[in-house]
Amino acid sequence: MTELTNSFHHTRATVRAAVGQTVSFASYTRVRLALCGMKDCHCGNPDGTRDSRYSLVLGRNGAYGQLRARVVDNQKEG
């Protein structure tokens, strides 16, 4: 379980994946809406995080190129 946060809105969301694992696009959308559901807000990153150790990065993978999100550790990514 990985917790993502948005310090501007004081919100938190959890995904059932560790660093390096992927989650579905539906989970990505759920997290984004839980952290910051406003369409015109510029409070943070595209995944809704702000000042969070962890974030979600969208990409395509799998045999059919499904849109998935990978959990990354912002402190280790640079």
Amino acid at residue number 10:
H
List of the chain residues with pLDDT < 70: 77-78
The reported pLDDT for the residue numbered 77 is 64
The reported pLDDT for the residue numbered 59 is 93
36-52: pLDDT as tens digits? 989 899 999 999 999 99
The three-class DSSP label of residue 24 is strand
- Give the total residue count for the chain: 78
pTM of the model: 0.89
Q: In angstroms, what CA-CA distances link 45 with 35, 58, 65?
A: 10, 12, 23
